[in-house]
Amino acid sequence: MFDQFGPSSVLQYRDLPDPEPIPGHALVRTRAIGLNFADVYRRKGTYHLAGVPPYIAGYEAAGEIVALGSEISGFAVGDRVGFADAPFANAELVLVPFEKLIPLPEAIGFETAAAVLLQGLTAQYLIRDSHDLKAGETVLVHAAAGGVGLLLVQMAKARGARVLGLTSSPDKAQVALEAGAHEVALYSQDWVSVAKEFSEYGMDVAFDSVGSTLMQSFESVRPGGHVVFYGMAGGDPPLIDPRMLMDTSKRLTGGDLWNVLTTAERRRTLARELFQSILLGELSVRISGMYPLSEGAKAHDQLESRQSTGKILLIP
């Protein structure tokens, strides 16, 4: 938790009163918690936080139901569940609204669920809702060795697309290649030129989670191409002149998972599909590090260093 915005040093590990079950909510004892860049943004004050300090970050975790409020059906104490979009997840006990609860198959462990739900559901909507990816299209994936990036690479390849990944180091490039990228360029290279060589007229679509690279992503896609912006791990994006979009016939789409997970039914259906892909071996989930919840600052530092490949978890 934290009382003020700032660097990872503002994070504290301390006791608060246990939440009490309320109508329409389940009390979940977390066993694994997913760390995301959104948590870093909230810690820094980049993303709005409602309420007053102390603030508790986190939206994604997996664990067991230990108590139920009224007005909940279909779940029982002891059930294994995950969630991707319920606040205050960086804690041992979390009150989760009924509609946010996602049942876990027995074969899906807590660590896997906490590592894949938010980022896997994100990758799903990016290649379905933001850009309905077709076989034969060329795809530029930023941060291709990161949590969403690795899943995007696998999903795009499974759809028959040709994938060019971008990473910050040769070691990360190897991870992206092992995940299925056809080619990988480094950010230290002239990667725009690499993209134009990879696809003769430019890429069909670029998935940009870095933000500060947005104009280069536009340079990388063909006339009539598409840039999907869904994160700013490298800094705020520049302002986009609509006349540039008009002159080049290029498209810009923003992506936000919260606008996709609109109902409990949709949330659980998409999660089931995601879990099924894992169980069938079609999708591999990479966990790059697990930190005790008490060492959250170290986990934040690791995530911000951009040296990790895959998902970082906090373990209560």
Domain extent for 23 = 8-117+259-315
| 265 shares a domain with 243 | no
Per-residue pLDDT of the chain (316 residues; tens, 9 = 90+): 999 999 999 999 999 999 999 999 999 999 999 999 889 988 998 877 767 889 999 999 999 999 999 988 899 999 999 999 999 999 999 999 999 999 999 999 999 999 999 999 999 999 999 999 999 999 999 999 988 999 999 999 999 999 999 999 999 999 999 999 999 999 999 999 999 999 989 999 999 999 999 999 999 999 999 999 998 888 889 999 999 999 999 999 998 888 888 999 999 999 999 999 999 999 999 998 999 999 999 999 998 887 778 899 999 9
Q: Running DSSP on this structure, what letter comes out for residue 127?
A: I
| 295 shares a domain with 202 | no
| 263 shares a domain with 211 | no
Of 236, 254, 272, which marks where a domain is finished? 254
User: C-alpha distances in angstroms, 175 versus 153, 185, 249, 286?
Assistant: 11, 12, 34, 10
| 148 shares a domain with 236 | yes
| 87 shares a domain with 153 | no
Q: Establish if 61 belongs to a structural domain.
A: yes
The CATH number of whichever domain residue 307 belongs to comes to 3.90.180.10
Q: Domain count of the chain?
A: 2
| 157 shares a domain with 102 | no
Helices (H), 65-164: 110-125, 147-158
| 78 shares a domain with 17 | yes
Helix axes 296-304, 37-44, angle to 10 degrees: 110
Of 254, 270, 295, which marks where a domain is finished? 254
Q: Establish if 2 belongs to a structural domain.
A: no
| 69 shares a domain with 26 | yes
Q: What is the pTM of this model?
A: 0.89
Q: Establish if 129 belongs to a structural domain.
A: no
| 307 shares a domain with 229 | no
Question: Does residue 29 contact residue 110 with C-beta atoms inside 8 Å?
Answer: no
| 267 shares a domain with 250 | no
